[in-house]
């Protein structure tokens, strides 16, 4: 696991190890990663930055709760992502993805996508299999997915994606579930991925105007 | 127990977590998120092979106020009025000050126009202290905890009204004057308090989060 101790000052609790604070030793931990996106002007060795279309700006944002920021080029369908360089270690049907992210673009159809993907891009069915939460300047957050043949999104609540929201996606054998700020909003049964996936944070411009997304926490683990 | 996510270990999903990080300074020779600065003088810096030492700064030159530390390259994401710092550091040598906290300056807790809040063990004082600066005026408030050369845990809690310093789990200082006024980055540093060489300090844990 790529974990860090979160609060040694809580000790006095019965747990002497981080492992044991989550599970007994009889429960063998599966793959698990978390990332705070704090402090580094560059990405650490875990992440790969992908310029998919256009010359986009990627880096840690200087500002309160800044996190990692992608600002696209001024180009229709400009897009970039950070990902695990196609090391696809998380299951399509038994994993959890958690993130705190937002989209700060002005255009309704601009997209900030974060979730799990088989490739470094989230755009059409041709760009791979995936499951993701989609933030935009419109007043809904969506749960999207692709099985490699068909790409679709289901709307979640009427809740703006342009302030930080807590996202929780659970992949199961029968469906994909999206919680926003703790409330179950979407249960999606169509167009689900069927291959191993990697974490991804991805921003796309819908027109020749820069689009921006930010993320300051991400966590993924297999169940 | 047991939420299986770290997130839910800290908060329910109904709480949107604010910005945070933690660093153990264990194992990597170069830590990716930190910028190391020798602001004055020459220093040897890096991970130490000693048991439990963590990241170490050792002075090579021999001037008073030689100083060396680490920061986030002015990526300032933590609030002056709603944040917490947990840090474990150690002053190793006499004639040395070690401090850790938040600052908006790459000169950490010395800059003329800096905003900062830091816990400190400094041999120019009689006790461990909390020091703050509001961009213009800086001041220091001592605790009643004697200086020492053993690992010590410090907690700084920054709110609008004050900055609180807790040492090894006991609240020691509530400081209300010259509080920082701008967004800041994590920082820590070692400083020489006399014109001698060999000032030595180390850090093994820091965690910062907005509340």
* DSSP label at residue A1: -
Mean pLDDT of A83-108: 94
Alpha-carbon gap, residue B89 to B53, rounded angstroms: 9
Residue A158, burial from CB neighbour count under 10 angstroms (0-12, 13-18, 19+): exposed
Residue-level pLDDT at B24: 85
- Chain A positions touching B185 (Cβ under 8 A) are 39
The tens digit of pLDDT for each residue in B23-64 reads: 888 776 666 789 999 999 999 999 887 778 889 999 999 999
3-state secondary structure of A195: coil
The first and second tokens of residue A37, run together, are 């996106």
Q: Does B1 touch chain A (CB under 8 A)?
A: yes
Tell which of B10, B13, B119, B164 to mutate to test the A interface (max A CBs under 10 Å): B13
Residue A163 to chain B, least CA–CA distance (Å): 10
The tens digit of pLDDT for each residue in A99-127 reads: 999 998 888 889 999 999 999 999 998 99
Q: Do B13 and A223 touch (CB under 8 A)?
A: no
Nearest to A98 among B7, B32, B155 (CB): B7
**Residue B69 reports pLDDT greater than 70:** yes
Are residues B100 and B203 in contact, defined by beta-carbon separation less than 8 angstroms?
A: yes
Q: Do B33 and A9 touch (CB under 8 A)?
A: no
Are residues B180 and B134 in contact, defined by beta-carbon separation less than 8 angstroms?
A: yes
- Chain A positions touching B1 (Cβ under 8 A) are 15, 21-23
Q: Does B171 touch chain A (CB under 8 A)?
A: no
ipTM topping 0.90: no
Dihedral class, residue B178 (left if φ above 0, else alpha if ψ from -120 to 50, else beta): left
Are residues A106 and A100 in contact, defined by beta-carbon separation less than 8 angstroms?
A: no
The tens digit of pLDDT for each residue in B100-151 reads: 999 999 999 998 999 999 999 999 999 999 999 999 999 999 999 999 999 9
Mean pLDDT of A82-108: 94
pTM value is 0.89
């Amino acid at each position: 696991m790529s974990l860090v101790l979160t609060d040694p000052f809580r000790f006095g609790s019965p747990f002497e190890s981080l492992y044991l604070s989550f599970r007994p030793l009889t429960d063998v931990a599966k793959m698990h990663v978390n990332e705070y996106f704090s402090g580094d002007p560059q990405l650490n060795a875990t992440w790969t930055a992908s310029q998919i279309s256009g010359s986009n700006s990627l880096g840690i944002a200087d500002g309160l709760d800044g996190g990692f920021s992608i600002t696209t080029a001024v180009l229709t369908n400009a897009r970039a992502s950070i990902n695990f360089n196609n090391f696809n270690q998380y299951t399509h049907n038994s994993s959890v993805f958690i993130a705190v992210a937002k989209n700060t673009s002005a255009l309704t159809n601009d997209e900030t996508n974060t979730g799990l993907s088989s490739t470094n891009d989230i755009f059409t069915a041709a760009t791979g299999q995936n499951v993701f939460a989609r933030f935009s300047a419109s007043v809904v957050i969506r749960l999207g997915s692709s099985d490699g043949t068909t790409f679709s999104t289901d709307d979640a609540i009427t809740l703006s994606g342009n302030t930080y929201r807590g996202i929780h996606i659970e992949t199961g054998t029968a469906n994909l579930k999206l919680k926003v700020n703790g409330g179950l909003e979407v249960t999606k049964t169509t167009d689900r991925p069927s291959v191993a996936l990697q974490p991804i944070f991805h921003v796309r411009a819908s027109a020749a105007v820069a689009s921006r997304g930010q993320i300051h926490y991400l966590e993924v683990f297999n169940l | 127990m047991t939420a299986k996510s770290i997130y839910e270990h800290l908060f329910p999903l109904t709480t949107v977590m604010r910005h945070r990080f933690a660093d153990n300074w264990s194992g990597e020779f170069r830590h990716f998120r930190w910028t190391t600065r020798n602001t004055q003088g020459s220093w040897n810096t890096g991970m130490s092979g000693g048991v439990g030492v963590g990241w170490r700064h050792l002075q090579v030159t021999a001037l008073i106020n030689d100083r060396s530390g680490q920061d986030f390259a002015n990526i300032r994401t933590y609030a002056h009025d709603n944040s917490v710092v947990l840090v474990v550091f150690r002053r190793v040598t006499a004639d040395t000050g070690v401090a850790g906290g938040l600052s908006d300056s790459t000169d950490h807790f010395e800059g003329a126009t800096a905003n900062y809040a830091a816990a400190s063990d400094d041999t120019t004082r009689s006790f461990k202290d909390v020091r703050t600066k509001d961009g213009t005026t800086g001041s220091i408030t001592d605790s009643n905890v004697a200086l020492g050369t053993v690992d010590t845990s410090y907690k700084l809690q920054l709110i609008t009204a004050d900055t609180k310093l807790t040492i090894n789990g006991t609240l020691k200082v509530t400081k209300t004057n010259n509080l920082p006024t701008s967004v800041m980055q994590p920082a820590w540093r070692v400083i020489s308090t006399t014109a001698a060489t060999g000032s030595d300090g180390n850090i093994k844990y820091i965690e910062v989060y907005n509340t």
